[in-house]
Amino acid sequence: MSKTTLTRRGVLSRGAVAGAGLAVPTIFTGSSVAGFTNEPTGGAVTLGFNVPQTGPYADEGADELRAFELAVEHLNGGGDGGMMSTFSSNALEGTGILGKKVEYVTGDTQTKSDAARASARSMIEKDGAVMISGGSSSGVAVAVQALCQEAGVIFMAGLTHSNDTTGKDKKANGFRHFFNSYMSGAALAPILGANYGNDRKAYHLTADYNWGYTTEEAVRTSTEAIGWETVAAVKTPLTQTDFSSYIAPVLQSGADVLVLNHYGGNMVNSLTNAVQFGLRDKIVNGKQFEIVVPLYSRLMAKGAGANVKGIFGSTNWHWSLTDAGSQAFVKSFGTKYGFPPSQAAHTCYVQTLLYADAVARAGSFNPCAVAEALEGFEFDGMGNGPTLYRAEDHQCFKDVLVVKGKENPTSEFDLLEIVEVTPAAQVTYDASIFGGDLGSCNPGA
Amino acid sequence: MEAIILQVLNGLDKGSAYALIALGLTLIFGTLGVVNFAHGALFMIGAFCAVTLSRILTLSHTIIDETRTDFLGNPLKVDVPYVYGWFGESAGAAIIDWAVPLSILFAIPVMITLGVVMERGLIKHFYKRPHADQILVTFGLAIVLQEVIKYFYGANPIPTPAPDAFRGSFDFGAMLGFDPNIIIYPYWRIIYFVFAAIIIGGVFAFLQFTTFGMVVRAGMADRETVQLLGINIDRRFTLMFGLAAAVAGLAGVMYTPINSPNYHMGMDFLVLSFVVVVVGGMGSLPGAVLAGFVLGILESFASMREVLEVLPGINQIIIYLVAIIILLTRPRGLMGRKGVMED
């Protein structure tokens, strides 16, 4: 017969261990009965769409949400099927995913990492979401991707362009269809060289956060490789609205090209200010002064109005593409909503279909089975030509579009024209150059 | 030397916006004793007056252009503004082109009405409440106003360009004997600075040289005595709230070609404008204007590459740093009056 002696120290230590165990969120513990987090058991499966519904990217978030709704409709057999008819994989039949009706819940990222994590956590814990997708910021994508890795669900990133998402911050449960800063630089440089020559002096204005740094580095590296000189690179606060004091000294520096490593409201304001200062009317070093915007978004270009005319940039996808997949998506989206989809909408739609297809091919919602189905997956018919989901870093490799602000737009949507479709091979890089560790898939149970 | 001239010029237009908003804030604080955190929202609503008038002027009927197609391959629907039909295409296009200057006429009654409604409908109930309550209610109002604007106009910036005649830039350097293209400055920013100077001068002249202004100044100095003289000072202060709203609104209207307006633009200016008011001295109209220009110019200098290389990040803190130094050395701000916010 044993005798149990209660001591103050023993109670405290056991209590601490028990408390710590109880404090661990349920998504990190899971049930040993379930094979993985949020395994669907009824006739439906829930997806979580985490998009900015408030804040400065709310319009982009609204477009993402429209695309998600359309994808769910198509997965459940509604509408005209959109890209399901052009997708090279034939695993999807319009009967939901593995026969389960697709339902969805939405969260508001507010384009803030903490808010995005909170809404993703809520969708996983309370709503039982088996996959999280969406977002309009790299900071948010990295934060939510890490959460999904811990929770044991798949993260299909929305609009995120920083190298880090599938570089130093990559995770085994996270997948990015969108292109990145490196690809923008690699696609843009040859076009810039062909149009503006190889003897140029560039001045960079860079948004003072992670995406700005990776974009500046990518464009600098690729333009210096063709012979351009970088005369200065100045970081601008993310909260800056009037860029005049940053733009005014550009001409004094001897630069003849201004590269605006800005996105969203920053891009609209800095480009507007640069055009106001008449930079594009000036002749410097015997050459016409030029402006470059490495990452374009049609929704943002609309904010800059006529100032985008003639300015080069890159984009992931554009509604004017003539391939069958793009046209099918534009027709579905345009018929339903009355205007063409943005690149953010395209990415979110494609990511949803790719996830569903991977589940169908794997025959399971288990995130590790899904990840295995996505890794190294080659497909076509989704709008960017033949595409590879690279296994090493979960980054998609596909054609990248170099675009230019259209001189004579016919409508408020007709702002950009495609100058070049840069082949995927030209923007492909070694998976190890951005560091990071993919780790191993976490099923969450 | 060129860089210094350039940054002074940049600081002047930035300072113009700060000064106009801070002037309105000080008018409200000086007359009603209210710390109005919704003042940035009034600046934003002024900007959206320009957007609204621009949309009114471009109200259109649709014609079908069978020779072109839309993104779905259907015949292209082309919007033709009604003003083209009423005034002819060239005159109609000119009216649309001048939408921003015309918005001044549109914004004045809208902003005065909005200011009076705000004051009578909400803010007057908080006169005798602590400043903290006033800040909370006006800040809440600011958020409501910006969400209303976002609901109707969306979250994206809306381009509202200056008339064609004022696009492009003026070569100050060439005029001053420097090399061409060294000191350039956009025409519209020159106009903004001149406009701000006229508004500021007008407000000062109104307060200095009219009977109404004299009574208001007397009320600001000693409200009770003015009321004992049988003057309805409250009504005059309400109108001053409307005037302050109009000043902020006009600052917003004229700012639209500089930066495309969005629902959040008021908040971007609000905190800086409060710093301007405090640095200038609570309740001091000349102080607000002076501090607006001083801080605007300092902010421009802090953004210079040469400065940033020596002091990285100084551009983000310069205004607050200067505010701390001024308040440590001159606790009432540059031109603050004794007794204001000291009870």
pLDDT at A25: 46
Residues 301-340 of A with CB under 8 A from B: 302-307, 319-320, 330-331, 334-335, 339-340
Q: Are residues A391 and A299 in the same domain?
A: no
Query: Phi and psi of A327, rounded to 5°?
Result: -65, -40
Percent of chain A with pLDDT over 70: 92
Q: Cβ contacts (< 8 Å) between A244 and chain B: which residues? A: 10, 13-14, 189, 300
Nearest CA in chain A to B259: A269
**Per-position b or e across B323-332, b if 16+ CB within 10 A of its CB:** beebeeeeeb
Note the pLDDT tens digit of each residue in A239-282: 888 898 899 888 888 899 999 999 988 898 999 999 988 898 88
Beta-carbon contacts of residue A220 (< 8 Å; ≥ 6 apart): A185, A202, A204, A230, A233
Q: How confident is the model at residue A3 (pLDDT cuts 50, 70, 90)?
A: very low
In chain B, domain spans: 2-329
* Pairs of CB atoms within 8 A across A/B: 130
The answer to whether residue B258 neighbours chain A at the CB level (below 8 Å) is yes
Higher pLDDT, A409 or A198: A198
Q: What is the pLDDT of residue A2?
A: 41
Residue in B with minimal Cα distance to A250: B182
The complex's ipTM works out to 0.83
Residue A435's CB is within 10 A of a number of other CB atoms, namely: 11
Write down the pLDDT at residue A204. 97
Question: CB–CB of B17/B196 below 8 Å?
Answer: yes
Mean pLDDT of chain A: 90
For residue B191, give both structure tokens: 């106009």
End-to-end CA, chain B: 46
B197 in contact with A, Cβ within 8 Å:
no
Confidence at B223, pLDDT banded by 50, 70, 90: confident
CA distance A125 to A143: 17
The mean pLDDT value for B105-118 works out to: 96
**pLDDT surpassing 90 at residue A40:** yes
Nearest to B72 among A237, A251, A334 (CB): A334
Q: Among B292, B262, B248, which Cα is nearest to A269's?
A: B262
Residue range A5-21: average pLDDT?
48
Q: Which of A248, A268, A277 sits opposite B157 (nearest CB)?
A: A268
Is the pLDDT reported for residue A15 higher than 60? no
Reported as a pLDDT band with limits 50, 70 and 90, residue A32 is very low
Please tell me which residue of chain B has the smallest CA distance to A58: B155
| Angle between helical axes of B2-32 and B211-221 (0-180°, round to 10) | 80
Residue A20 pLDDT greater than 60, yes or no? no
Say yes or no to pLDDT of A16 above 50.
no
Contact A244 B181 (CB under 8 A): no
Do the domain assignments include residue A360?
A: yes
pLDDT at A194 over 70: yes
Query: Do B266 and B41 meet the contact criterion of CB atoms below 8 Å apart?
Result: yes
When divided into structural domains, chain A yields a total of 2
Would residue A8 count as lying in a domain?
no
Q: Which residue of A has its CA nearest to B312?
A: A235
Q: Could you read off the pLDDT of A166-183 as tens digits, one per residue? A: 999 999 999 999 999 999
In a domain, A33, yes or no: no
Domain end (from A398, A413, A439): A398
**Residues A163, A203 within the same domain:** no
For chain B, say whether A272 makes contact (Cβ under 8 Å): yes
Q: Which of A10-19, A111-120, B302-311 is the least confident region? A: A10-19
Report the pLDDT averaged over residues A396-419.
Answer: 92
Residue type, A121: R
The chain-wide mean pLDDT, for chain B, equals 89
**For helices B265-280 and B131-153, angle between their N-to-C axes, nearest 10 degrees:** 150
**Cα–Cα distance between A86 and A81 in angstroms, integer?**
9
d(CA A227, CA A19): 62
Question: How close B239 comes to chain A (CA, Å)?
Answer: 32
The answer as to whether A365 is a domain residue is: yes
The pLDDT tens digits for A301-323 are 888 888 999 999 999 999 999 99
- Last residue of some domain: A257, A291, A315? A315
Closest CA to B295 of B25, B11, B39: B11
Q: Burial letters for A405-429: b for 16+ Cβ neighbours within 10 Å, e otherwise? A: bbeebeeebbbbeebbbbebeebbb
Given a contact cutoff of 8 angstroms between Cβ atoms, the answer to whether A173 and A374 are in contact is no
Q: Is the predicted pLDDT of residue A8 greater than 80, yes or no?
A: no
Is residue A99 within 8 Å of residue A40, measured between CB atoms? no
At A39, is the pLDDT very low, low, confident or very high (cuts 50, 70, 90)?
very high
Indicate yes or no: CB of A277 within 8 angstroms of CB of B169. Answer: yes
The verdict on a CB contact (< 8 Å) between B182 and A246 is: no
Residue A355 lies in domain: 44-179+319-398
Are A193 and A296 in the same domain?
yes
- We report the CATH number of the domain holding residue A390 as 3.40.50.2300
Which of residues 371 through 410 in chain A touch B, CB cutoff 8 A? Answer: 410
Q: Phi, psi at residue A220, to the nearest 5°? A: -60, -50
- CB A138 within 8 Å of CB A162: yes
d(CA B186, CA A248): 10
* Residue A239 placed within a domain: yes
> Which of the four pLDDT bands, split at 50, 70 and 90, describes residue A6?
very low
Nearest by CB to A303, which of B70, B159, B301?
B159
Amino acid A209: pLDDT? 87
| A32 within a domain of the structure (yes/no) | no
For residue A158, the model assigns a pLDDT of 97
Residue A94 has pLDDT above 50, yes or no: yes
A307 & A187 share domain: yes
Please indicate whether, in this complex, the C-beta atoms of B169 and A249 are within 8 angstroms of each other. Answer: no
Structure tokens given for A13: 């230590």
Residues 55-114 of A with CB under 8 A from B: 55-59
Q: What are the two backbone dihedrals, phi and then psi, of residue A221, each rounded to the nearest 5 degrees?
A: -60, -45
b/e per residue A257-290 (b: at least 16 CB within 10 A): bbbbbbbbbbbbbbbbbbbbbbbbebebeeeebb
pLDDT at B130: 87
Confidence at residue A125, expressed as pLDDT on a 0 to 100 scale? 96
- Contact indicator for B155, A56 with CB cutoff of 8 Å: yes
Phi, psi (rounded to 5 degrees) for B75:
-55, 140
Of chain A, the percentage scoring pLDDT greater than 90 comes to 76
Q: Which residue in A239, A246, A320 is closest to B303 by CB distance?
A: A246
Are the Cβ atoms of B159 and A252 closer than 8 angstroms? no
- Is pLDDT at B154 greater than 60 in this prediction? yes
* Mean pLDDT, residues A23-49: 72
Mean pLDDT of B52-72: 92
Nearest to B168 among A234, A235, A278 (CB): A278
Asked if residue A204 belongs to a domain, the reply is yes
CB contact at 8 A, A181 and A211: yes
Per-residue pLDDT for B51 more than 60? yes
- Residue B284 above 90 pLDDT? no
**Residues A305, A286: one domain?**
yes
Considering the domain architecture, whether residues A248 and A140 belong to the same structural domain is answered as no
The more confidently predicted of residues A29 and A134 is A134
B89-95 average pLDDT score: 95
Position A424 scores a pLDDT of 96
Q: Where does the pLDDT of residue B9 fall: very low under 50, low under 70, confident under 90, or very high at 90 and above? A: confident
Give the pLDDT band of residue A352 (cuts 50, 70, 90): very high
A143 and A268 together in one domain: no
Structure token pair of residue B197: 């100077």
Which residues contact residue B322 at a Cβ distance below 8 angstroms, ignoring those fewer than 6 apart? Answer: B279, B294, B295, B298
Last residue of a domain, one of A267, A291, A315: A315
Q: Are residues A49 and A171 in the same domain?
A: yes
Task: For the beta carbon of residue A336, count every other beta carbon within 10 angstroms.
Answer: 15
Question: For residue B26, is pLDDT > 80?
Answer: yes
**Binary contact (A319, B71; C-beta < 8 A):** yes
Name the least confident of A30-44, A194-208, A297-311, B91-105: A30-44
Average pLDDT value for residue range A327-350 = 96
Task: Report the pLDDT averaged over residues A105-133.
Answer: 96
Residues A242 and A264 in one domain: yes
Q: Are A173 and A88 in a shared domain?
A: yes
Residue A162 lies in a domain: yes
| Other Cβ atoms closer than 10 A to B31 | 24
* CATH 1.10.3470 is the classification of domain B2-329: yes
Long-range contacts of B97-100 (CB under 8 A, 24+ apart): B97/B163, B97/B164, B98/B163, B99/B50, B99/B53, B99/B54, B99/B57, B99/B160, B100/B50, B100/B54, B100/B160, B100/B161, B100/B162, B100/B163, B100/B253, B100/B254, B100/B256, B100/B257
